[in-house]
Amino acid sequence: MLPPRPVMRGFAVLTHVFPIACLIMSLSSPVSPAAVAAPAVQPSSKVALERRADGQWQLLRNGRPFVINGVGGQRHLELLVQMGGNSFRTWGADDLDHKGPNGKSLLDQARELDLAVTIGIWLQHERHGFNYSDPAQLEKQREYVRGLVRRYRNEPSLLVWGLGNEMEGPTADGRDTRIWKELQVLAQIIKQEDPNHPVMTVIAGAGGAKVKALMENYTAIDILGVNAYGSAAGVGKALQEAGWQKPFVLTEFGPVGAWEVRHTSWNAPIEQSSQEKAANYYSTQKMVMEDSHGTCIGSYAFVWGNKQETTSTWYGMFAPTGEKMPSIDAMSYAWTGKWPENRSPRIRKFTTDLREAIVKPGQPFTGLLEATDAEKDTLTVEWTVVAESTDRREGGDDEAVPPSIPGCITRSEGLAVAGVAPTKTGPYRLFATVRDGKGGASIDNVPFLVK
């Protein structure tokens, strides 16, 4: 998938997905190696892989064992440290110089917080128009990679090079050997320029045919990154069955994917509740680390921010308005064995006559929540009716945010709501956002159809 891009508004941090052209550095006008090259100096960090006597793999960061407790995303970094995280990954290097609200670049913040960074090197996808059979395009991309490595190879916070993300295509079987053979060339370029940091490439899922084709054509890879959702806890077993013997990182995981869940009769995917998502994050983190036969060296939870993908809440670990969700509490507990000082509120039950219902235009409805807060904070609820997304994309590509429908909520009192369905026919969702007033929130939704 692709990551969200941040927009700063006042004191709230909202994140959205911008078009691909904004997300990656276009190779139609790449930065030349000379423009980005840094002087050759002694490395400021050294990261190595080691296989212990018991057969387990481990990362050594400046000589010390390092297990990745990471997230995908690059905002709220102080909170990441407070929650027990020690690393984050980017999908492309164009974000590294981005100035945060404190005026400091992403790498400045990483150094100050002692966060290790998997620096993503964005490689082009054929579904976006790139041609892996065109020598001119390949050469341009190779020079881009070389220049980028020269620029950042002495960065103290650099942990691993993230060479590409799902270039084989999120639904492809990986049998197109052009991709793997080109990755072999690019990985060798990185190793020539920087022998002090491992190379990781991220694929979508741990399909056996894909992994075997990779192993046959891409031997220079050091670490395999795998993005997985419903099947995330079983990635270690799947890789073992495919014959993978090097270390791996679970580079994206979280809720069950929108393509993996039950759908309504009108084909709307049923989103997990915020409580179910939190349980998914925790159980996946524990199982993948404990049941991978020593090959998993860490993980990156997705996504440390918020993005529109199927819905505005499906994958975000933060609410659209910036509050942390229960999934963050779950990851903190998985990393540290302790809950954060202030836990997000929890929605225990969401009752409404709109749940997966087919209703008439303007038909009245009611809803009721059961919600609790560990610190007994006063809870408030915001109810919203939103149109179902009609802009579904592949692999996390940018999606348009569907509109909210005004006039549907007629009364909201405590944890109860009353309203009327939209007058225009079509699919919708009723969202309930519970906030504790101290930076925590939970958001659940139910789909319904006006017909």
Cβ density class 408-441: b for 16+ within 10 Å, e for less: bbeebeebebebbbbeeeebbbbbbbbbbeeebb
The Cβ-side half-sphere exposure at 365, using a 13 Å CA radius, reads: 31
**Domain ranges in the chain with CATH number 2.60.40.10:** 346-450
Q: Is the pLDDT of residue 145 over 70?
A: yes
**Lowest mean pLDDT across 25-29, 49-53, 255-259, 339-343:** 25-29
Residues 411, 332: Cα–Cα separation, whole Å: 36
Strands (E), 334-394: 346-352, 357-359, 364-372, 380-387
**Helix (H) / strand (E) containing 68:** strand 68-72
Highest mean pLDDT, choosing among 169-173, 292-296, 331-335? 331-335
**Lowest mean pLDDT across 2-6, 252-256, 299-303, 431-435:** 2-6
Residues 343, 326: Cα–Cα separation, whole Å: 7
What DSSP assignment string belongs to 312-323?
A: SSSS-SB-TTSP
Cβ density class 129-157: b for 16+ within 10 Å, e for less: eeebeeeebbebbebbbbbbbbbbbbbeb
State residue 13's pLDDT score.
32
Residue that wins the pLDDT comparison between 365 and 173: 365
Q: Is the dihedral of CA 25, 31, 35, 39 positive or negative?
A: positive
State residue 99's pLDDT score.
79
Q: Is the pLDDT of residue 25 over 70?
A: no
| Beta strand pairing call for 296-301 and 248-252 | parallel
Q: Is the pLDDT of residue 347 over 60?
A: yes
Global pTM value? 0.89
Give the right CATH number for 346-450 from 3.90.1170.50, 3.30.70.1450, 2.60.40.10, 3.40.140.10: 2.60.40.10
Mean pLDDT for the chain overall: 89
**Lowest mean pLDDT across 55-64, 73-82, 172-181:** 172-181
Residues 71, 86: Cα–Cα separation, whole Å: 9
State residue 11's pLDDT score.
25
Geometric angle at alpha carbon 352, from 346 and 357, rounded to 5°? 130
State residue 292's pLDDT score.
79
Q: What are phi and psi of 387, to 5 degrees?
A: -65, 145
CB count within 10 Å of CB 45 equals 16
Name which of 351, 188, 53, 156 is nearest 201 in CA terms: 188
pLDDT tens-place string over residues 211-252? 999 999 999 999 999 999 999 999 999 999 999 999 999 999
Residues 35, 50: Cα–Cα separation, whole Å: 35
Band of residue 6 on the pLDDT scale cut at 50, 70, 90: very low
**Lowest mean pLDDT across 22-36, 188-202, 263-277:** 22-36
Cβ density class 371-386: b for 16+ within 10 Å, e for less: bebbeebebebbbbbb
Q: What percent of the chain has pLDDT over 70?
A: 90
Q: What are phi and psi of 411, to 5 degrees?
A: -155, 135
Q: Is the pLDDT of residue 127 over 90?
A: no
Q: What percent of the chain has pLDDT over 90?
A: 79
Is 5-336 a domain of CATH 3.20.20.80?
A: yes
Q: Is the pLDDT of residue 4 over 60?
A: no
State residue 396's pLDDT score.
65
**Domain ranges in the chain with CATH number 3.20.20.80:** 5-336
Residues 78, 62: Cα–Cα separation, whole Å: 23
Band of residue 395 on the pLDDT scale cut at 50, 70, 90: low
